[in-house]
Chain A
Amino acid sequence: MAVEVILPRVDMDMATGKISKWHAKDGEKVTKGAALFEIETDKAAMEIDAPSDGILRNILVGEGETAAVGSAVAFIYAEGEAVQSASPAAAQAPASATAAAPVSSVPTVTPPVASGETPRATPLARRLAKQAALALGGVSGSGPRGRILADDVRKALDSKPSVAAAAPATLSDDSIQKLYQPGSFAVQPMDGMRRTIAARLTQSKQTVPHFYLSVTATLDALMAARESLNAAAPRDASKAPLWRLSINDFIIKALGLALQKVPAANVTWAGDSILQHRVSDVGVAVAVEGGLFTPVVRNIEAKTLSAISLEMKQLAAKARARKLVPSEYQGGTSAISNLGMFGIEEFTAIINPPHASILAVGAGVQRFVPVNGQPSLATQMTCTLSCDHRAVDGAVGAELLQAFRSYIENPMLMLA
């Protein structure tokens, strides 16, 4: 009985391999353990040894040709054994695929079977394939002995339109769960908010060309202004102040004014055009149980700090109660994500489309800075602006950040 020469799996992600060179010709004698052919994957080239002694025959995959992992590429006959005209052991091809060195307990996917064979598949997989007019021969089976399961067909159908689709994204829940020890995790069903976050941010990070600009602003003047404004806040009958400004309120106001000062940054990318906005509407990320919302503070340029502060409090409360209506979170040209309260000094944020930018605000940190050659204590924060390069170029983003910093460091300008 002739021995199959199998294309082995030499790389975890490998589904096919290209034979770059045969070291023996059809009819030549080969020796077990000696290099027989070379394969090339995306990442590596490797010499494969002959699996047994004998005569090389029926080379099915020539130099430069590609074959599925686990498929037979040639046969080795014992000396004197009658040579079959076609591949002699095609019927056994799927079984021998297990010889393709699966790695540890990671589920392996058996390659598509050779043409002409009936693939092993569940009834449901067959029915789904038939409905979609998909040939099962081209589907890799993840079940025992290479059985094609319904999920394999679904995956094959999913990956059809876009070959470039990342493999992990098309993995089903089940196949991901299989990578972990059963019982070592709990499954949390996904709610609508989580789905929306996942879909929008994946789309943003994959389709919006981000670039990042960082600036450090000194906060001392702002903190002093905040303190005196809060001290002077009007009070109600029970002497409680009617408002109390936070540093974030100043940041919202500063970004709103900066967008007015640098109108080229107050834009959104609309596919065939760019929208140039007249008002400053800025989203503010609010963390809620299990996710986040980004309500939009509108017409910032026309609002006082106290009005912004009160509006923000209401929006945040509604966000946490999951009571925001679309008119409260749609639109806007930029956004603010502030993780300063967690002590995060600086970070980068993902743009929330259709915004053209997002400002990631870090914590205020005390530092010694040189003033006239002498160290002087200052409170500083680092902000990083993520920009959609389709709509905002580097210089425009830098101008916006510069304007923002000037408002932060000269807060009286915000009152002007």
Chain B
Amino acid sequence: MSRELTYAQAIQEALAQAMEADPNVFLMGEDIGVYGGAFQVTGDLVHRFGEDRVMDAPISELGQAGVAVGAALAGCKPVLEFQFSDFATLAMEQIVNQAAKLRFMLGGKVNVPLVMRFPAGSGTGAAAQHSQSIDAWLAHVPGLKVIQPSTPHDMKGMLLAAIDDPDPVMVFEHKLLYKTKGEVPEEAYRVPIGKAHVARNGKHVTVVATSIMVHKSLEAAETLAAEGIDVEVIDLRTLRPMDTATIIESVKKTSRLACVYEGVKTLGIGAEISARIAESEAFDYLDAPILRLGGAESPIPYNPQLEKAAVPQVPGIIEGLRNLVTGRT
């Protein structure tokens, strides 16, 4: 049975089902208990599972991350919620030097099966220190898996897969997606990490988009369809390990590639996607330069108009793809 849930409800359902199925799963984060989480994701879980498993943590991201790594080494499956993904910077030592490295440094004798959830992205008027998209930072680190589901369905299935996963998985959740709705099956299903999804079939250009940009790209695709431009939209879903094969196959069909993502354009995920295609057999199928549409080279502004202008929006995506397909770039 499937019914409509919001993205936030899909997360909460995945967390509840994982905790029901495995007593080693517990949640930790700032204000995730009685307050229900800054974005009301954990909701009433504290009442269902108790304070030992839905733990309010003091405001120390480094401390929380250290607890999570230690608990994971000791056989637990912690799911740590950061209030904003921006605060991952405070926990980088534990994430990058410990969680990502321990399995390798101890010769595979241990695993660090933790999940970190990061509310991310702009559009909430929260200014430069609460609006970033730093998913590509963490995707740069071997030993981490980084996922960015764009729909309630994928969110629930990928979060359950992340909790199952023996390695640390970083989950980036765009804040503007929390209230979006979609069909979600009731049972505890898995959506595999490392597999992209072709969200729309098309023949003129391949768009590889992440997170909320999947929805913006699909909207742009609808407009362009009326002009005879047939856009294929790939929802990347996982940044690391990246599903390059799906992108190669698509580019071989369409001969054009655009990457649409909210993180800062320079050295962002689009650079990696572009390079992989340039290195691959799909290179010989390219009939136009690769297009990257990413965030501005700027901190996210507080002014709402500038905030919008700092990340790709539908009209800009339409224009970029139109120019790409009509041979103007």
Contact = CB atoms under 8 A, between A and B. Distances in A.
A44 interface: no
Contact of B327 (A124, A127, A144, A186): A144
Given A150-B255, A174-B327, A186 B226 contact: yes
Interface in B300-329: 322, 325-329
Contacts of B288: 122, 143, 149
Interface in B254-311: 255, 283-288
A182 interface: yes
Contact of A177 (B227, B284, B285): B227
Contacts of A107: 327
B107 interface: no
Contact of A183 (B227, B255, B286): B227
B327 A142 contact: yes
A174 B288 CA distance: 14
Nearest to B230: A187
A147 B314 CA distance: 28
Most buried by A among B283, B284, B322: B284
B253 to A, nearest CB: 12
Contact of B286 (A123, A151, A177, A178): A123
B285 A182 contact: no
A101 B285 CA distance: 32
A185 B227 CA distance: 6
B329 A144 contact: yes
A285 interface: no
Interface string A155-181: 000000000000000000110011000
A348 B227 CA distance: 35
A125 interface: yes
B228 interface: yes
Given A123-B285, A125-B287, A177 B327 contact: no
B71 to A, nearest CB: 50
B284 A123 contact: yes
Contacts of A185: 227-228
Nearest to B284: A127
Contact of B326 (A122, A125, A182): A182
A124 B286 contact: yes
Contacts of B226: 183, 186-187
B228 A123 contact: no
Contacts of B285: 123-124, 127
Contacts of A183: 226-227
B228 A143 contact: no
Interface residues of B, number: 16
A173 B204 CA distance: 12
B327 A143 contact: yes
A187 B322 CA distance: 15
Interface string B227-259: 110000000000000000000000000010000
Interface string B198-213: 0000000000000000
Contacts of B286: 122-124
Contact of B228 (A124, A150, A151, A173): A173
Contacts of A150: 255, 287
Contacts of A124: 255, 284-287
Contacts of B284: 123-124, 126-127
Contacts of A123: 283-287
Contacts of B329: 144
Interface in A189-235: none
A255 to B, nearest CB: 43
Nearest to A143: B327
Given A122-B288, A124-B285, A124-B287, A144 B227 contact: no
Nearest to B325: A174
Contact of B287 (A149, A178, A182, A186): A149
A382 B294 CA distance: 67
Nearest to B223: A183
Contacts of A186: 226, 228
Contact of A187 (B228, B283, B326): B228
B291 to A, nearest CB: 13
Nearest to A121: B287
A183 B285 CA distance: 27
Contacts of A174: 325-327
A127 B287 CA distance: 10
B328 A182 contact: no
Interface string A90-130: 00000000000000000100000000000000111111000
Interface string B57-81: 0000000000000000000000000
A141 to B, nearest CB: 10
Contact of A149 (B228, B322, B327): B327
A151 B255 CA distance: 11
B326 A178 contact: yes
A412 B181 CA distance: 76
Contacts of B283: 123
A216 to B, nearest CB: 46
B328 A187 contact: no
B204 to A, nearest CB: 8
A123 B287 CA distance: 6
A178 B229 CA distance: 12
Nearest to A126: B284
A331 to B, nearest CB: 38
A122 B324 CA distance: 13
Contacts of B327: 107, 142-144, 149, 174, 178
A120 B144 CA distance: 41
Closest 9 CB pairs of A and B: A187-B228, A124-B287, A150-B287, A127-B284, A122-B287, A123-B286, A143-B327, A123-B284, A124-B255
Given A144-B329, A178-B327, 14 more contacts: A122-B286, A122-B288, A123-B284, A123-B285, A124-B255, A124-B285, A143-B288, A149-B288, A149-B327, A151-B287, A177-B227, A177-B326, A183-B227, A187-B227
21 contacts: A123-B284, A123-B285, A124-B255, A124-B284, A124-B285, A124-B286, A142-B327, A143-B288, A144-B327, A144-B328, A150-B287, A173-B228, A174-B325, A177-B227, A177-B228, A178-B327, A182-B227, A182-B322, A183-B227, A186-B226, A187-B226
